[in-house]
Structure 1
Amino acid sequence: MTELADWLVWSSRSKIDQSENVGDPLGFADQTQSNSNHLRGIKMLHEIRALIQRRSSFRIQPDGPTAIKTNVGASGGLLECVTSGSSGAPKIIRRSHRSWIASFEVNANLFDLSAGDTYAVFGSLAHSLSLYGVLEAVHIGADLCLLAGLRADRQLKALQKTPITTLYVTPTQIENLITVADENLRIESVKRIFIGGGALSTLLADKCKSIFPAADLSPFYGASETSFITMANSQSPEGSVGTAYRDVEISIREATGQVTNGIGEIWVRSPYLYIGYADPVASDTRHQDGFVTVGEFGSLDQAGNLFIKGRKSRMVTIADQNVFPDEIEQFLMTHYTAGPVAVVALPDDKRGHRLAVVVAGQAHQVDLDRALQLCRKTLGAHHSPKYTFFIKDLPQLASGKLDYNAIYAWIEDQQ
């Protein structure tokens, strides 16, 4: 008896009446027929493809797509999906099909993507990063491997046994794979890795290249509302999220709305912007003259490289200084090699807040102390965590990002 495969390989060129043998280059058809999760996945993918081909408006929900009627104008169909919820309650995003199709075609030209590729996504299709990867595969006629809901070791096995060429992942999902990978593992089939939903540290990028030696890493910065804003490559300076993606205009502005050469709010204008929210409306998201901001702060260097400080919603005051936990978290991820960390702000009667770092996995105290000392020396005392907690695994959202609400709740239980 052959082992039941946990994953599904689907061909976006298959016919609906061939669903039991869809995209079966590895002989998984007999196995998937006995797995209802696979069959539901196949049905969902066919429904999504049919809705796109009909240019219908639809919403992606955990159990599949649902056709919707809306008064919001969107030539060529409307799509509703959910934000990750990493910066607050998840919001339903509305965007036109055309806004994503425009970037599908840019990516196909930039990265030589074609129907000969096989994509893999790791998160729920209800969230925009994985959904984007799926729809891009459908648009270009590529094969697709769905790995959501699997343990990292099973995801890694799928990558070893399936000729996957293109990944859409978050840094946390990459970290999960690296944690369970044998140090000598090499997967040669993967040629392109698109990494969104958080900054990619140099150390994590090096580990990723070790496992996927033939892959070009393309970390990108954006939001559900904006889609692509910047894209980085091997030439991007450390700490940068790269330069503007094709046809994207970036403006850094002060609170008064004036453009600044220093740190300010990131405003974006491009063909890839969303139309609006279904409900609720995010207070940090604002529009002006065709530009939109989601309340994230950063700066541009003279070469146009964007450096992210963090979300306004996570910014805190420590001894009358504005501090971005996202910035400290990224710094520590760059200099602490033993595993992922999260930085959160805890209330403090004297200083307003104090920072805490939550370290996943087995503690490597010497490395951690060195990283914290370097953080204090480089960023300053108020930007260095005062408390340290150790946890087996950092909680994650279905989108593959860190679940800060769960992290705060866990810390409260420890005190």
Structure 2
Amino acid sequence: MTEPPGDIVCGSLDAHAVRAGGSVALCDGRETLTWQEFLARTVAAETALSQTGASRLLRVDAGDPLTALVRLCAGARSGRIVLVADPVHWQRYGERLRTELGPVADDEAFANDDPAPRGPDDGDDGATGAAKGKPAARFRAGPLEPFYIGLTSGSTGMPKAFQRSHRSWTLSFRTCLEAFRIDGTDRVFVPGGIGHSLHLFGAMLALDSGLRLDIARRFQPKAILRRMQAAGSSVLVATPTQLQLLARGAASEGIRLPDLRRVLLSGAKWRNSERDLLARMCPGAEVHEFYGTSETSFISHRRAGDPPGSVGRPFEGVEVEIRGDDGERLAAGETGDIWVRSRLLFDGYVMGTEPMTRRDGGWVSVGDRGSLDGEGHLWLAGRKGRMIVTSGINVFAEEIEAALLQYPGIGQAAVFGLDDRLRGARIVAAIQLCDGALPDPQALRRHCLDLLEPAKVPRAFQFFSDWPLTPGGKSDLPAIAGEIEHREVAHDSVSRRTPA
């Protein structure tokens, strides 16, 4: 069994280095570190932070995952608050972050962070030798102290910076291990950059729990599949889009992953139409779909026997309520705002604001809408920020996207409401095909009419060969919306120049 997580993120590394010694802790495809080597680098990074007098707020560049994870662990253990930022996000928002958050220690804080050579008095235990050089703490690392600042994915707009405490993550680790039955024999693979909170959580879950971690520097499905084969990875932490592309890559290359037994999936709904491909790739794997956000951590997950279409029941220790616009709790089956109470919640935003995120005592809502049935299953309707008002009807983009994805050959779909004088908003769908020729728009409309009310059927379909993704592997909705608006403007311009 894995050792139970402690109260401080990465506080168990010394114990893992003693127990696992020379076995592999981390591999990024270019470099591999044993537990002894990982601890030695972490302690060296802690020493560098102490020697350079780095401020409490520390930025770690997510572009190099191995180095970033060493530095994040060093920052967490030294009582610092680590800002993990994808290079693209830092380039765009770095100045604003510095302005709003204050002094931010950077790469210079890790000057000369190479582990010192072992001397003859260090003994045979590499972990003991590394720990001897651990510096005195300048800042306090406590369960309720903040340790991490992340950026929301930006899939729906401007990213916000959110802050989490040590305990919110160590309890999340414990929740994950117990709910998904992960044990000390497991090997974890994370297929994307740790600038995305799901990938970072999967990576830190492995390292904090003493499990081998393999991580991808870039999302390249075929290369990842081969690495998973070689590593004997048994747990995959991914978004549905990544899993879909991996399953298709495995089918085209004839690759099988017999060791994979757990797939932890979050970020969007997994499509039943892809299950056959997944079963061929990893016939022994169980898919554990869970629902959560950067602000709330785990909320609910689907278990065997839960109704299709739901996101399951809440995790142990998580309470969920559905409330109306007046703040009153709604009855089973009624749709309203989803409110969550648990010990896993974030501390708050430290940059930017999100009007849809509200607090009420120990409860938080991030603007997601849904309902609870009589058996306690949670059903998602959509996000308030993606609601489209057309012809006086409130429509969730997610509902239309789910209908489109049931059409054969459609791999990705995103729905938007464009300004329309007559209807208020005109619904347009962006579509990427996974195979086959372009479908007839009239056939697509008939398909949608079979599943949706007429007012919800897209008025136009735009087809994409390349599908923009955020660094975290989600659909880049602002980029897709921008391209649709560009095409619509160009189309209108051509229509005005063309005689009737």
- TM-score when scaled to structure 1? 0.86
User: Within the alignment, does 1:121 sit opposite 2:190 as a pair?
Assistant: yes
**Distance in 2 separating the partners of 1:380 and 1:7:** 49
Partner secondary structure for residue 247 of structure 1:
coil
Letter in 1 for 2:401: E
User: Within the alignment, does 1:300 sit opposite 2:324 as a pair?
Assistant: no
1:185 maps to: 255
1:22 maps to: none
Letter in 2 for 1:13: W
- What does the per-residue CA deviation read over 1:178-231, in whole Å, with 9 as the maximum and x for residues that have no partner? 333325432111111111111112113443233121111011111100011111
Sort the Cα spacing of 1:147 and 1:101 in 2 relative to 1 into closer, same or farther, 3 A: same
Tell me the CA shift for residue 289 of structure 1: 2.2
Letter in 1 for 2:35: R
**Distance in 2 separating the partners of 1:6 and 1:100:** 23
Count of residue pairs the alignment pairs up: 394
**Distance in 1 separating the partners of 2:222 and 2:67:** 26
User: Within the alignment, does 1:212 sit opposite 2:273 as a pair?
Assistant: no
- What does the per-residue CA deviation read over 1:84-118, in whole Å, with 9 as the maximum and x for residues that have no partner? 11222111110101111112112222333234322
User: Within the alignment, does 1:81 sit opposite 2:150 as a pair?
Assistant: yes
**Distance in 2 separating the partners of 1:337 and 1:313:** 28
Sort the Cα spacing of 1:101 and 1:403 in 2 relative to 1 into closer, same or farther, 3 A: same
Tell me the CA shift for residue 146 of structure 1: 1.4
Moved more, 300-309 or 326-335: 326-335
Partner secondary structure for residue 139 of structure 1:
helix
1:94 maps to: 163
Sort the Cα spacing of 1:216 and 1:10 in 2 relative to 1 into closer, same or farther, 3 A: farther
Q: Is the 8 A contact 1:345 1:356 kept in 2?
A: yes
1:410 maps to: 483
- What does the per-residue CA deviation read over 1:334-358, in whole Å, with 9 as the maximum and x for residues that have no partner? 4445422222222222111122222
1:29 maps to: none
Picking from 303, 310, 329, the partner of 2:382 is 310
Letter in 2 for 1:318: T
Q: CA RMSD in A?
A: 3.0
- What does the per-residue CA deviation read over 1:26-78, in whole Å, with 9 as the maximum and x for residues that have no partner? xxxxxxxxxxx999543322222233344543221236996899999962542
**Distance in 2 separating the partners of 1:156 and 1:89:** 33
Sort the Cα spacing of 1:389 and 1:73 in 2 relative to 1 into closer, same or farther, 3 A: same
Q: Is the 8 A contact 2:441 2:461 kept in 1?
A: no
Q: Is the 8 A contact 1:6 1:150 kept in 2?
A: no
User: Within the alignment, does 1:376 sit opposite 2:449 as a pair?
Assistant: yes
Q: Is the 8 A contact 2:173 2:205 kept in 1?
A: yes
Sort the Cα spacing of 1:117 and 1:8 in 2 relative to 1 into closer, same or farther, 3 A: farther
Picking from 407, 415, 429, the partner of 1:357 is 429
Picking from 104, 111, 127, the partner of 2:180 is 111
- What does the per-residue CA deviation read over 1:139-187, in whole Å, with 9 as the maximum and x for residues that have no partner? 1011111114232222222223321111111111112223333254321
Sort the Cα spacing of 1:352 and 1:150 in 2 relative to 1 into closer, same or farther, 3 A: same
User: Within the alignment, does 1:141 sit opposite 2:210 as a pair?
Assistant: yes
Partner secondary structure for residue 351 of structure 2:
coil
Tell me the CA shift for residue 303 of structure 1: 1.3
Alignment of structure 1 residues 10-89 onto 2, 5 Å:
10=32, 13-16=35-38, 40-62=64-86, 75-89=144-158
Letter in 2 for 1:208: L
Moved more, 78-87 or 277-286: 78-87
Percent identical among aligned pairs is 30
Sort the Cα spacing of 1:73 and 1:141 in 2 relative to 1 into closer, same or farther, 3 A: closer
1:236 maps to: 306
Partner secondary structure for residue 14 of structure 1:
helix
Letter in 2 for 1:390: F
Structure label with greater radius of gyration: 2
Q: Is the 8 A contact 2:313 2:377 kept in 1?
A: yes
2:459 maps to: 386
Unaligned 5+ segments in structure 2 are 1-26, 42-60, 91-103, 110-137, 489-500
**Distance in 1 separating the partners of 2:381 and 2:277:** 24
Letter in 2 for 1:319: S
Letter in 2 for 1:354: R
**Distance in 2 separating the partners of 1:98 and 1:367:** 53
Sort the Cα spacing of 1:119 and 1:367 in 2 relative to 1 into closer, same or farther, 3 A: farther
- What does the per-residue CA deviation read over 1:353-406, in whole Å, with 9 as the maximum and x for residues that have no partner? 122222213455569866643432332111222211111121100111111111
Q: Is the 8 A contact 2:172 2:344 kept in 1?
A: yes
**Distance in 1 separating the partners of 2:165 and 2:39:** 29
Letter in 1 for 2:348: G
**Distance in 1 separating the partners of 2:379 and 2:352:** 29
Partner secondary structure for residue 422 of structure 2:
coil
Sort the Cα spacing of 1:57 and 1:250 in 2 relative to 1 into closer, same or farther, 3 A: same
Q: Is the 8 A contact 1:240 1:306 kept in 2?
A: yes
**Distance in 2 separating the partners of 1:156 and 1:272:** 32
**Distance in 1 separating the partners of 2:219 and 2:183:** 27
Letter in 2 for 1:44: A
Sort the Cα spacing of 1:88 and 1:38 in 2 relative to 1 into closer, same or farther, 3 A: closer
Q: Is the 8 A contact 2:147 2:165 kept in 1?
A: yes
**Distance in 1 separating the partners of 2:39 and 2:166:** 26
**Distance in 1 separating the partners of 2:183 and 2:208:** 10
Sort the Cα spacing of 1:249 and 1:6 in 2 relative to 1 into closer, same or farther, 3 A: closer
Q: Is the 8 A contact 2:291 2:298 kept in 1?
A: yes
Unaligned 5+ segments in structure 1 are 20-36
Q: Is the 8 A contact 2:62 2:195 kept in 1?
A: no
Tell me the CA shift for residue 290 of structure 1: 0.9
Letter in 1 for 2:326: T
**Distance in 2 separating the partners of 1:38 and 1:98:** 22
- What does the per-residue CA deviation read over 1:273-292, in whole Å, with 9 as the maximum and x for residues that have no partner? 00001110111100002110
1:23 maps to: none
Sort the Cα spacing of 1:54 and 1:38 in 2 relative to 1 into closer, same or farther, 3 A: closer
2:404 maps to: 332
Letter in 2 for 1:412: E
Sort the Cα spacing of 1:51 and 1:73 in 2 relative to 1 into closer, same or farther, 3 A: closer
User: Within the alignment, does 1:152 sit opposite 2:221 as a pair?
Assistant: yes
